Amino acid sequence: MKAAVLTFPGSNCDDDLLWAVKDIAGADAELVSAKSESLEGFDLVLVPGGFSYGDYLRSGAIAKFAPIMTALKNFADNGGYVLGICNGFQILTEAGLLPGALQWNTSLEFICEPEPLKVVNNRTAFSNQYAQNQAITLPIAHGEGNYYADADTLSEIEANNQVVFRYADNPNGSLNDIAGLTNKAGNVLGMMPHPERAVEALLGGTDGLGVFQSLIAATKGAAHAAN
Amino acid sequence: MFKAKIYVNYKPSVLDPKAEVIKNTLSRLGQTNVKDVTVGKYFEVLLEGDRDAVDQQVDALCDQMLANVNMEAYRYSLEEV
């Protein structure tokens, strides 16, 4: 299994994400520039947090036009696994790979705290190593993490069981306490909390490791099915 | 040449926390007749071409880039310059 960690101008969690998936979880992985136009040879694409293109216009609004995004859309359309974290989540919503949008936290504050979450769907490629309804704690660090979707979209998301992580104590005003959700097909997930910042006891916890272990298990399963 | 004047605002169904803070602060300052505040973005874009083509082009660039239509609405006018 080989993972690509995308790097946009202004990404600042790319090295942490590479460390988590490669050095801690043990997958083959490398950084891929947003200027690249190919994702050939990768089984998983990780879109990191940060402030891509300075968050100019809106978070993720400029990143969606980066050269790599055409390859990313094709990769996702063909069933490839894509995980967007924080700014990566914002980029995926802007690019239309995930429903809804992220707006300013209702408090208007940038919140940087460990946040209790619940894994509300463990039957996904991103959460299969967690128990259903497992309580976990992951750090959040964002000013614009307030998940919004119109009423029809929200109903559809819930009916399809697309929500994977919910906040136990909603910090930012997200509708339905949504902290992370997948697309309808289940191969693209966006989440505001940072699993890559919770993969070693030294960092304060290892609750995020399950996300990467789940993806490694899922890609092995996919390769097995393909063979 | 046309100047497109473009306004982008949150849709009415989206609570805008920045607008709420401004409204509440104005009330606190004694501006008690302020009933609502809307915060948005304003763009001016200069384009060459005939009016119909420019009109379609501005609509597309608003839809695809300047506004996130999941949560924002846009409107614009074209002024010949």
Counted domains in chain A: 1
Asked whether the beta carbons of A137 and A205 are under 8 A apart, the reply is yes
Long-range own/partner contacts, residues A117-120 (CB < 8 A, 24 or more apart): A117/A165, A117/A166, A117/A167, A117/A168, A117/A179, A117/A193, A118/A165, A118/A166, A118/A168, A119/A164, A119/A165, A120/A163, A120/A164, A120/A165, A120/A166
- pLDDT-derived band at A224, boundaries 50, 70, 90: low
Distances (CA, A) of A84 to A4, A47, A90, A142: 12, 4, 8, 14
Query: pLDDT tens digit string along A2-21?
Result: 999 999 999 999 999 999 99
ipTM: 0.86
Query: pLDDT tens digit string along A166-191?
Result: 999 999 999 999 999 999 999 999 99
Q: Do A107 and B17 touch (CB under 8 A)?
A: yes
Domains of chain B: 2-80 (3.30.1280.10)
The boundaries of the domain holding residue A64 are 2-226
Give burial (CB, 10 Å; 0-12/13-18/19+) of A48. buried
Return mean pLDDT, chain A: 96
What pLDDT shows up at residue A165?
Answer: 98
Q: A48 CB near a chain B CB, below 8 Å?
A: no
Residues of A designated catalytic: 86, 194, 196
Q: B53 CB near a chain A CB, below 8 Å?
A: no
User: Which residue type is seen at A107?
Assistant: S
Query: pLDDT tens digit string along B15-62?
Result: 888 899 999 999 999 998 999 999 999 999 999 999 999 999 999 999
Distance from CA of A204 to the nearest CA of B (A): 32
CATH code for position A210: 3.40.50.880
Q: Which residue of B has its CA nearest to A65?
A: B65
